[in-house]
Amino acid sequence: MRSLSVKDDALNEVGSRTWDALFVGAGPAGALAALNLARLGHPVLLVDAKEFPRNKVCGGCLNARAQALLAHCGLTDILSQCEATPVDDLQMMHGRRRAKWPLTGTLAVNRAEFDDALVRKAMEFGVHFLSHTSAQVLKDDRGPLRHIQLKRGVHSVVAQAKVVLCADGLSRSSLRSLDGFTSQVDQSSRVGIGAVVEDDGPAHPSGQLTMAVGRHGYVGITRISRQRLNVAASVDAKALASSTPGELVQEILDACGCSAPKSLLQQTWHGTPTLTRSNARLAAHRLFVLGDAAGYVEPFTGEGMSLAMHTSVLSVPFVQAAIAAWEDRLIREWERSLKRKVLFESWSCRQLSRLVRMPRLAALSLEVCRLAPSLPESLSRHINDRPITGLPPMGPASFSADSAPHYRKTG
Residue type, 32: L
**CA nearest neighbour of 392 among 329, 287, 319:** 319
CA pair distance 351, 336, nearest whole angstrom: 22
DSSP of 76-128: THHHHHTT-EEEEEEEEEETTEEEEEEEEEEEE--HHHHHHHHHHHHHHTT-E
On whether the CB atoms of residues 292 and 304 are closer than 8 A, the answer is yes
C-alpha separations of 42 from 17, 63, 200, 206 in Å: 13, 30, 46, 41
Query: Tell me, what's the pLDDT at 402?
Result: 39
The burial of 9, by beta-carbon neighbours within 10 Å (0-12 exposed, 13-18 middle, 19 or more buried), is given as: exposed
Residue type, 324: A
Query: Tell me, what's the pLDDT at 24?
Result: 97
SS3 at position 112: helix
Secondary structure E strands in 259-403 = 270-274, 277-278, 283-284, 287-289
SS3 at position 257: coil
Query: Tell me, what's the pLDDT at 361?
Result: 66
CA pair distance 78, 403, nearest whole angstrom: 18
Which element (helix H / strand E) includes 332? Answer: helix 329-341
Which element (helix H / strand E) includes 262? Answer: none
Q: 287 has which bridge partners?
A: 164, 284
CA pair distance 107, 69, nearest whole angstrom: 14
**Ranges in the chain, pLDDT < 50:** 1-3, 396-411
**CA nearest neighbour of 357 among 298, 293, 270, 296:** 298
Q: 230 has which bridge partners?
A: 196, 222
On whether the CB atoms of residues 217 and 94 are closer than 8 A, the answer is no
**CA nearest neighbour of 196 among 4, 57, 53:** 57
CA pair distance 403, 92, nearest whole angstrom: 46
Could you tell me how many helices (H) and strands (E) the chain has, helices first? 12, 18
C-alpha separations of 117 from 137, 153, 407 in Å: 27, 25, 19
CB atoms within 10 A of CB 181: 20
CA pair distance 67, 79, nearest whole angstrom: 9
Which element (helix H / strand E) includes 198? Answer: strand 191-198
Q: 62 has which bridge partners?
A: 107
CA pair distance 114, 111, nearest whole angstrom: 5
Query: Tell me, what's the pLDDT at 396?
Result: 40
**CA nearest neighbour of 24 among 281, 284, 289:** 289
Query: Tell me, what's the pLDDT at 319?
Result: 97
- DSSP 8-state symbol, 387: P
Region of 144 (left: φ > 0; alpha: ψ -120 to 50; beta: rest) is: alpha
HSE value, Cβ hemisphere, 13 Å, CA-based, for 243: 17
Which element (helix H / strand E) includes 235? Answer: strand 228-235
- DSSP 8-state symbol, 375: H
Domains of the chain: 10-187+276-393 (3.50.50.60)
